[in-house]
Amino acid sequence: MSEKVALVTGASTGIGAAVCTELANQGIRVAVCDINKIDGEALAKKIGGEFIDCNVTNLVSVQGAVNICTQRLGIPDYVHLNAGIMTVPTGEPFLAIEDVTEAQYQKIVGVNLNGVYHGMKTVLPLMRDKGGAVTITASTAGLSVVPVDPMYTATKYALIGFGRAVAAANEGTNIRVNVICPGVTDTQIVPDDYRRPEFNVMTVEVMAAEIVDLLFNGENGEVRVKNAADKPAFTVGLPEL
């Protein structure tokens, strides 16, 4: 069993898969948690990790995945709550907010927001004695707007506030909670209109390196932004009330 353990959600593809790979390259044993079994199992085999089926919208599923991780690998030292979607699948036309169905609304909130709540609720009690870090994937959409997808924007704003609040609630403990806000990154959920040169599309490997650094070295409550491969990341100073 490796000395250090990481658990990543939304881990089979995209940023999550790149984070899993980077963590494994750092000698950390990784629980690859996702509903995408085919890609997840292939990734776990490649990096020497453990694929665990996990539907982040379901608390029981998340609790089961964390329990399997704890039994097979150990209590995680690092957790990356990364699973996220947009309101409509890639390639489908975006919808005006009045045309978003109740099912679409529930799905994006279930993955993007409830999934992080389920993860926090489950891992924090386990990690409290051992210590470690939890990084949430938000987005620069949570600091600006994505007009074509108001629900995506809303969930990412919520994640920044949620992450900061949980970090403040755990101030003085040996758990660090922080938030990463990626700019446009080359993943399967990015619309074609956002792949134009002016959006400075980054590779998943660039984002993974930043996220792993945040997991290892980030401050509790830090909200870090990475929006271009050729520019350093920066921490956002949000107002205190």
Question: Could you report the per-residue pLDDT of 67-108, keeping only the tens digit for each?
Answer: 999 999 999 999 999 999 999 887 888 999 999 999 999 999
Q: Which of 79, 41, 95 is nearest to 211 (CA)?
A: 79
The mean pLDDT of 4-11, rounded to a whole number, is 98
- The fold of 5-227 is Rossmann fold (3.40.50)
Q: What is the mean pLDDT of the chain?
A: 92
**pLDDT for 168 beyond 50:** yes
Helices (DSSP H) in the chain: which residue ranges?
14-25, 37-47, 59-72, 102-109, 115-130, 150-169, 204-217
| The length of the chain, given as a count of residues | 241
**pLDDT for 110 beyond 50:** yes
Measured between alpha carbons, how far is 202 from 191 in angstroms, rounded to an integer? 14
**pLDDT for 191 beyond 90:** no
Contact 200, 229 (CB under 8 A): yes
pTM (2 decimals)? 0.94
**pLDDT for 151 beyond 50:** yes
The mean pLDDT of 183-203, rounded to a whole number, is 68
The pair phi, psi for residue 53, each rounded to 5°, is -65, 130
3-state secondary structure at position 159 = helix
Tell me the pairing of strands 234-235 and 223-226. antiparallel
The domain segmentation of the chain, as residue ranges, is: 5-227
Burial string for 150-174 (b: 16+ CB within 10 Å, else e) reads bbbbbbbbbbbebbbebbeebeeee
**pLDDT for 184 beyond 90:** no
Query: What is the pLDDT at residue 237?
Result: 80
**pLDDT for 241 beyond 60:** no
- Per-residue pLDDT of 55-68, as tens digits, reads 999 999 999 999 99
- Per-residue pLDDT of 32-49, as tens digits, reads 999 999 999 999 999 999
- Per-residue pLDDT of 135-144, as tens digits, reads 999 999 999 9
* Helix, strand and coil percent figures for the chain, each rounded to 5: 45, 15, 35
Contact 65, 52 (CB under 8 A): yes
The mean pLDDT of 227-231, rounded to a whole number, is 86
